Structure 1
């Protein structure tokens, strides 16, 4: 089996996480396959204009594997265009824009991360297409490229069921590039591998592309987790209710045994552990907002008494709710 080449464009002042976040997802997918006794699936490349180390916006230097102008586009499976402070210069790089325009029809997938959408738009690749970008660059994209159908409040536009959106797509700011990469891995290697990679990277949940850029809790949709989707969307709105296994099984219209089996199969953890994670995530979000008392947070998230919440915070975060609020509010 030949490796699929995933290339990422790099340039001076690129956002380092736009590059390394998605690339790590693909690298971790290779690791998971090797753990299963399977060969690597992806080959990773960094493409730059010159064969010289370049500084990212945070000062970290990246080593370029090849010059983009020397790469036959047909040898690439997927090309990602990241964002960062250097985007404005690249939007005026006529040689790069011409190469991207010529490359687009010859590769399977072309996508952007964060403000990299501005580069694709400057290459006239997003006209009459739905696109998103980092929330801070939405108005710039709209003003410069009125033919682009900009949707500000979503994580990415990749859709494997839509041939156009599976070929050319965009994603929102920084960590949304990781969600995009996980969606690409899921399309290539299946949901189980994508969920395993997400767990390895200590992501709470893999977020679907249609989710808002600003959400405290981002549950999978029913189309992504076949029989649990509706229940997982229901849980965050009912954290103060009885969320024991029996109650969850009734809500999901299945037996407790089937419910436990599906949670293990789809999420890798039991329903009790999942509820604990959602309660903790919601409590952290409310405390970070700085507008809600600890007692109220404990009540809203189903802990009942603040002492119960304190024990959970100590167990998972090694700090008390009060300390957490003081640090992050």
Structure 2
């Protein structure tokens, strides 16, 4: 019988409870599926805290740490998960924890994060040179670590093949993406049939279609950051089906095309053409969510003109089709 593998998850004050319980439930359910087949449980689950004992989550209830991380030998752990939550900012300043994580990294088979737990790994310097992701609202904070290769749309960066990610050090996006990550870990450990049985039991996709961009907040520049463009942006938002070429926008702004392009790049971080595409995409998202309009109607109203243009843009940015998006969010 294969030796038991210890899956440990860090907990700390104001941790996000689902970041902890979601992934661990996947491993627990994998044990159940193995036992249904007459096989022994593979995973042993542990919670590690500053000290052993109860820890208040951001939801208000408590989780109980089995032991202190500082008293845990990393070599005894198979997989160590670092969750996110409102308390992660304090943990980024926790020098003993960061030192322990740096020491643990070469000792554990797998080290990963859930949601904003990636910021703790980044603070420890462990994500330097690695592809990483986190919750869409924390991507800018992760980009504050210039050596990290930030991927804002993927659900997780675990890849046992090493082609698109790392089998040893990896991250996952917001909250429930930790469940996607855990399913991928189980699939590698136990094979697709067990992972699929777990996903079915939890009423989950084994591989969720699309990335986290489909869930992120809409494009909304802060007016105080774009004073010279505010009037033009408002007009663009009211005239998405019109000609929004660079020449038209420059004429309306009373600027040369080159000057307008520089202004967009400086104040919005992208050129006018890309921004127009993003505005139209966000408007299409809202119409598909809230209006019940057909894909063809949405394409016409938002300036894409033809459904195929809308479909290509959805796949480019959200990795799903407009119809799938409407089915999921409307």
Please report the TM-score for the alignment, with normalisation by the length of structure 1. Answer: 0.66
Q: Contact (CA 8 Å) 1:198, 1:206: kept in 2 or not? A: no
For residues 38-187 of structure 1, what are the structure 2 equivalents within 5 Å?
38-143=39-144, 145-162=145-162, 165-187=166-188
Q: Per the alignment, do residues 125 and 204 of structure 1 end up closer, same or farther by CA in structure 2, a change over 3 Å counting?
A: closer
Q: Per the alignment, do residues 31 and 159 of structure 1 end up closer, same or farther by CA in structure 2, a change over 3 Å counting?
A: same
1:272 corresponds to: none
2:290 corresponds to: 290
Q: Contact (CA 8 Å) 2:152, 2:213: kept in 1 or not? A: no
* RMSD of aligned alpha carbons: 2.3
Cα deviation 1:164-219 (Å, max 9, x = unaligned): 700000000000000000000000000111111000001144327xx421348xxx
Query: What is the CA distance between 1:292 and its match in structure 2?
Result: 1.3
Cα deviation 1:93-127 (Å, max 9, x = unaligned): 00000000000001100000000000000111001
Instruction: Describe the SS at the equivalent of 2:14.
Output: coil
CA distance in 1, matches of 2:75, 2:41: 20
Q: Per the alignment, do residues 142 and 19 of structure 1 end up closer, same or farther by CA in structure 2, a change over 3 Å counting?
A: same
Query: What is the CA distance between 1:128 and its match in structure 2?
Result: 1.0
Cα deviation 1:106-164 (Å, max 9, x = unaligned): 11000000000000001110011110000000001112x11111110110000001197
Query: What is the CA distance between 1:291 and its match in structure 2?
Result: 1.7
Q: Contact (CA 8 Å) 2:133, 2:156: kept in 1 or not? A: yes
CA distance in 1, matches of 2:5, 2:175: 24
Q: Contact (CA 8 Å) 1:25, 1:181: kept in 2 or not? A: yes
In structure 1, the gaps of 5 or more residues are 217-284, 301-324
Q: Per the alignment, do residues 89 and 287 of structure 1 end up closer, same or farther by CA in structure 2, a change over 3 Å counting?
A: same
CA distance in 2, matches of 1:159, 1:126: 15
Tell whether 2:240 aligns with 1:213.
no
1:13 corresponds to: 14
CA distance in 1, matches of 2:75, 2:51: 21
CA distance in 1, matches of 2:72, 2:160: 26
CA distance in 2, matches of 1:147, 1:206: 29
CA distance in 1, matches of 2:12, 2:138: 19
Query: What is the CA distance between 1:287 and its match in structure 2?
Result: 9.5
Q: Contact (CA 8 Å) 2:11, 2:49: kept in 1 or not? A: yes
Instruction: Describe the SS at the equivalent of 2:167.
Output: helix
Instruction: Describe the SS at the equivalent of 2:166.
Output: helix
CA distance in 1, matches of 2:87, 2:130: 24
CA distance in 1, matches of 2:136, 2:152: 6
Query: What is the CA distance between 1:68 and its match in structure 2?
Result: 0.5
Instruction: Choose 1 or 2 for highest CA Rg.
Output: 2
Instruction: Describe the SS at the equivalent of 1:85.
Output: coil
Q: Contact (CA 8 Å) 2:15, 2:57: kept in 1 or not? A: yes
Cα deviation 1:20-65 (Å, max 9, x = unaligned): 0000000000000000000000000000011120111111200111
CA distance in 2, matches of 1:100, 1:204: 31
CA distance in 1, matches of 2:82, 2:287: 36
Instruction: Describe the SS at the equivalent of 1:186.
Output: helix
Query: What is the CA distance between 1:2 and its match in structure 2?
Result: 1.6
For residues 174-323 of structure 1, what are the structure 2 equivalents within 5 Å?
174-207=175-208, 211-215=210-214, 289-293=289-293, 296=294
Query: What is the CA distance between 1:290 and its match in structure 2?
Result: 1.2
Q: Contact (CA 8 Å) 1:15, 1:56: kept in 2 or not? A: yes
Cα deviation 1:59-106 (Å, max 9, x = unaligned): 120011111011111100000000000000000000000000000001
